[in-house]
Amino acid sequence: MGDKRHGIGVTSAVATATFSSSISISYIFCVLNPTGGMKSESLPKVVPPVCHLKKRYNMVYSRQNPLRVVTLCSGYDSQCLALDRIKHFYPEFDYELVAWAEYDPESKQPIDKQPAVIAHNALFPQWKDRNLGDMTKIDWSSIGGGIDLLFYSTPCQSVSQAGLQHGFTEGSGTRSSIIWNVRDAVKTLRPKYLCLENVKAMVQKKFLPTFNLWQKELEKLGYVNFAQVLNAKDYGVPQNRERIFLVSIRIDDESNTPKYNFPKPFKLNLRLKDVLEAKVDEKYYLSDKMMNMFHQNGRVNSSQDGVISDRDGVSQCHSAGHGNCQKVIEDV
């Protein structure tokens, strides 16, 4: 191996966060028209100008009238990172995270010591006291009304190809089946907009019937749904990361059903070398012994997750369930 060093995990972390933000920006702009008066040519490159809703609803969210947001299964809240980016591009826009819910029932740590909660509080200390914890036990009426946007990125472990794929059927008790608890939040809060983001496997043949049942549930609650699989590499991020997005818009006028267009793909100009950090702590590098494992036909145990990435290329998607198959970048 000579003097080669072998970085691990850096690309997945950076690209995943960037992807979440850039895609979130796209659909938030398209659905909500936060500034109310922007022109297509003024949009940042990562926000394709495909929304026509502003002509019909003329919605404006500002410091005087902030977008009121609730996030469920929040993690570190890449959704709020996206909203912060909107504020960067359009200072007149503002939002308020009214409530968030992050809790790991399998953790032995108190909630404020759990990794995702620590990360959220580090990024958004101003909303540290708004974590409602276990979303299956929340009294949604305590939040009050006037919620504009509800994000829910429920656990993917039970549908992901990296997991056992036990599904998310209502009442099954799997981690992914917590999605059905979102229904109570929707019934009580009646947000104007809903957005689900999850792994592509949620709409594969095995789970598509359950996904369609969820959509029908939202239709019963008075929403129109728009679903599409989007790939990060089509929206400015050098990572091959496919995710299903479900945007749901509340129907307030039966004679004027809302319409929605997902952002159009555009040419990718970035590569891994453009987002990797120049200086990385030694703990993120693999030994030659470990690298020999990854060099078995360029993969680990014939798994798609052990692909060795090139700095001039695009990162593959890291599957968290395969702990022995991390992404590798050869740093010569």
CA distance 243 to 180: 19
CA distance 330 to 309: 7
Query: Cβ distance 270 to 236 under 8 Å?
Result: yes
Collapsing DSSP to helix, strand or coil, 226 comes out as: strand
The beta strand positions in the chain, using DSSP E, are: 5-8, 67-72, 95-101, 149-152, 193-199, 223-231, 239-240, 242-250, 285-286, 308-309, 315-316, 328-331
Phi and psi torsions of 95, nearest 5°: -145, 165
- Residue 217's nearest CA partner among 255, 248, 188 is 248
Structure tokens that stand for 195 in this block: 């957005």
Mention every residue, 6+ apart, whose C-beta is less than 8 A from residue 45.
236, 266
CA distance 133 to 154: 14
Whose tokens are 């950090």? That residue is 277
DSSP state of 256: S
Structure tokens that stand for 74 in this block: 């929040």
Mention every residue, 6+ apart, whose C-beta is less than 8 A from residue 94.
61, 62, 63, 66, 67, 87
CA distance 268 to 32: 26
Q: What are the b/e assignments for 103-117, b being 16+ CB within 10 Å?
A: beeeeeeeeeebebb
Q: Which residues are catalytic?
A: 156
